[in-house]
Chains A and B, each alone.
Chain A
């Protein structure tokens, strides 16, 4: 009843936004929330309301600010500005513990369980019922069973979490949050690792919770599951709230448009490359059990091919497998028509493939070594005498050459990479592979964590590389970047390529549909309306 009236109140005030929806006092109310990370604004002036007994979906692209907002609600982060009130009372959380005590629980996307403890011990971690100073195991085991049963999860509470499947762990995480008897429950991608039937069970529980008056914030990239449970939807983009609306009055297409609807401005350099259509690399039927399957695509000389898709769709995994860093179970890769069998990166590098990891510091650079040493590491043989002595002068001049060509800002070739800025570190990785004469370059999220100016330089570089006849693969989660920089785009979803599109003839909306699977949904529900 209450939820009903809240909804109608919301509908009436829909045009003016939630700021004036005072008909029912919301359970949770956020006003003017802003948060910066090192001068980069993650959230700007965001308003958000949650009523009891409603599921409020939050949508947005990667980096739109969803996670930051959730972390602020759950006390993990503190906002720089803005007010939060719970049941009308203004609150300030210093930690997740504060938020939990106030009745706000979060189910994390990345699993936050301690693998070596039991299911029950995890559920009651840091709030263990005690008996004579010892943990009351009987009590926690009995209490855990209740919650697990409610989720239809047949798991022994004494089982070690390490022995559970990812889906089971996700369900334990959900059970843990439920056992807090929270008034506000935040679900961040709760279904990303669940099967169909587990998802159905979860939704039943969600409906139970709604009836019990719990307010639920629901984040999911699987837009097509929202109609089943969401009451309202808020769309974030670039750290700002774009809209809040009743789910009944909107369509998935509307949401997608609002999510990606930013105009393309001149953030991308005009292309100088001219792809000539000659096939450089041919990938057919590439499969790695449980990770990706039946991947087929061609990479042409002088083109930039985009890999679009959601995080975890298999883009990075395919690139790493082609590079020989991970195992391949089936399929063939041909370079200039000749098969490549890379058992290690060494084999792939010899054939001219390079992979520039999304995590530069973990996989790309030895940051405590000099710029020159990082540039030369993949091609030391070319700088060495027959007996393996490095010609240090040649090494230094080669490094200087690439510092010049790529415009790396460093006082000298001997500077430690650690002391360079993010963009310049990225250029050092590029220099390494150019010096190796690579002909196929995989760039995995090359502009992540890089400021706008440096981004433009990287884009220019991608174009210049392609203009030299190199085949460039650009893996990116930013759709504008994919549209602005690529010639063709392969869209990934759940470990498969759902479609290869000509960039000129596509749109963010179309890519998003192939990436989130809503094209299937739309096709399956054709004639029943868009919802």
Chain B
């Protein structure tokens, strides 16, 4: 009798694991399917050049998505990352324009992101504001500050060194050709892509292998049980918002460097892309569930959809409709998975 029960339970567990696998696989499969479809439709889609373009475009969503995933796993939400990236980017650019070395500018940008994240965290943990409201406020404030300090004007003329972070790459192999122009043999790995890989691996290890990561899941899964188990719930929650804010600061620095101009209106609605990436990747908005691998896949799904639809000549409006439907579909699948 009892053994039958255990066998039954094991069967249920297998079933659960299969469902989880299906969920992960579903995101990955849709990613592959998209790639195949777009390759068939457009000959120039499947090329090293375009792959790099997509990877570069995805980096912003991926950085923000990784932060968003951590916040959402704790059961929160961060709406302010788009605005924080704009503020961090313009602070970075203004510092460089004022004569500071580029590295100092970047550090200033990261510090801005970290501070905004800390304020978000304190609003949630100390003032006990709902995360939606706390970060909505930060979204408006950060955007307003970015527009105010720049008079809503773009900052240009930042120089080559400023552009290095966003446009440079590692292991680029080029030879000076006979005509005197450089001849690119291997385009190298762009720094933004490199950063994305390092970040994804680092945060994945943080979540899966460290005490802090385990506490992040525990807080999102049941914050009262976590508190009664001795977890520093406030500290863990703060950390998630600080991480998200700092990554937004990084995104701002990289993005503005790539464009070699700092736009205070940059990054509008990016927070929604970030949340969408996390959710498509299987992160549950009720907290406790989510992975970095899924989130990066989610970012690529959005990036490839955009890129492929662009190359296919689909209008920006139709793109919006399609991405909206994709989000609805994936979250619906997620709901089905949790309904039992």
Contact = CB atoms under 8 A, between A and B. Distances in A.
Interface of A: 323, 325, 344-346, 349-350, 355, 357, 362-369, 373, 376-378, 380-381, 384, 387-390, 392, 409-412, 415-416, 419-420, 432
Contacts of B229: 345, 349, 377-378, 432
A392 B10 contact: no
Given A392-B209, A411-B9, A325 B2 contact: no
A378 B12 CA distance: 28
16 contacts: A345-B229, A349-B229, A349-B230, A350-B230, A362-B222, A362-B224, A366-B222, A366-B225, A369-B218, A373-B217, A377-B214, A377-B229, A378-B230, A380-B211, A380-B214, A390-B209
Nearest to B209: A389
Contact of B228 (A357, A388, A410): A357
A366 B6 CA distance: 21
Nearest to B213: A390
A380 B211 CA distance: 6
Contact of B13 (A323, A387, A416): A416
Nearest to A373: B214
A384 B211 contact: yes
Contacts of A365: 222, 225
B17 to A, nearest CB: 9
A367 B222 CA distance: 8
A409 B10 CA distance: 11
Given A344-B230, A377-B231, A432-B229, 12 more contacts: A325-B228, A362-B224, A365-B222, A366-B221, A366-B222, A368-B288, A368-B289, A369-B217, A369-B288, A373-B214, A377-B229, A387-B210
B179 interface: no
A85 B235 CA distance: 60
Interface in B101-156: none
B6 A363 contact: no
The list of the 8 closest CB pairs from A to B, nearest first, reads A366-B221, A411-B10, A349-B230, A378-B229, A346-B230, A380-B211, A366-B222, A388-B210
A362 B228 CA distance: 11
Contact of A346 (B209, B214, B232): B232
Nearest to A320: B228
Interface of B: 2, 5-6, 9-10, 12-13, 16, 209-212, 214-215, 217-218, 221-222, 224-232, 288-289
Contacts of B10: 411-412
A389 B9 CA distance: 31
B9 A381 contact: no
Contact of B226 (A323, A366, A419): A366
Given A365-B222, A390-B209, A412 B13 contact: yes
Given A389-B210, A419-B12, A369 B227 contact: no
In this complex, the member of B2, B10, B12, B222 whose beta carbon has the largest number of chain A beta carbons within 10 angstroms is B222
A387 B213 CA distance: 13
B227 A325 contact: yes
B232 A388 contact: no
Contacts of B6: 409-411
In this complex, the member of B12, B229, B231, B288 whose beta carbon has the largest number of chain A beta carbons within 10 angstroms is B229
Contacts of B2: 409
A131 to B, nearest CB: 38
Nearest to A410: B9
Contacts of B16: 416, 419
Given A323-B228, A366-B217, A366-B288, A415 B9 contact: yes
Nearest to B15: A419
A390 B228 CA distance: 21
Contacts of B222: 362-363, 365-367
A486 B28 CA distance: 57
Contacts of B228: 323, 325, 345, 355, 357, 363-364
A288 to B, nearest CB: 18
Contacts of A381: 211
A409 B217 contact: no
A478 B129 CA distance: 41
B87 to A, nearest CB: 31
A384 B213 CA distance: 12
Contacts of B212: 388
Contacts of A357: 228
In this complex, the member of B215, B218, B232 whose beta carbon has the largest number of chain A beta carbons within 10 angstroms is B218
B307 to A, nearest CB: 35
Contacts of B13: 411-412, 415-416, 419
Nearest to B233: A344
A366 B218 contact: yes
Given A369-B288, A389-B209, A416-B16, A409 B226 contact: no
A388 B205 CA distance: 11
Nearest to B232: A346
Nearest to B20: A416
A390 B232 CA distance: 17
Nearest to B224: A363
A362 B211 CA distance: 22
A346 B211 CA distance: 15
B3 to A, nearest CB: 10
Given A368-B221, A390-B214, A412-B13, A377 B226 contact: yes
A420 B214 CA distance: 21
A357 B226 CA distance: 12
Nearest to A409: B6
A406 to B, nearest CB: 15
Contacts of B221: 366-369
A191 B30 CA distance: 62
A140 to B, nearest CB: 33
Contacts of A323: 228
Nearest to B5: A409
Contacts of A373: 214, 217-218
Nearest to B234: A344
B105 to A, nearest CB: 31
B225 A363 contact: yes
Nearest to B206: A388
B279 to A, nearest CB: 17
A420 to B, nearest CB: 8
Given A325-B228, A377-B226, A415-B13, A388 B288 contact: no
Contacts of B12: 419
B272 to A, nearest CB: 26
Nearest to B231: A377
A3 to B, nearest CB: 50
Contact of A409 (B9, B210, B215, B231): B9
Contacts of A410: 6, 9
A416 B10 CA distance: 11
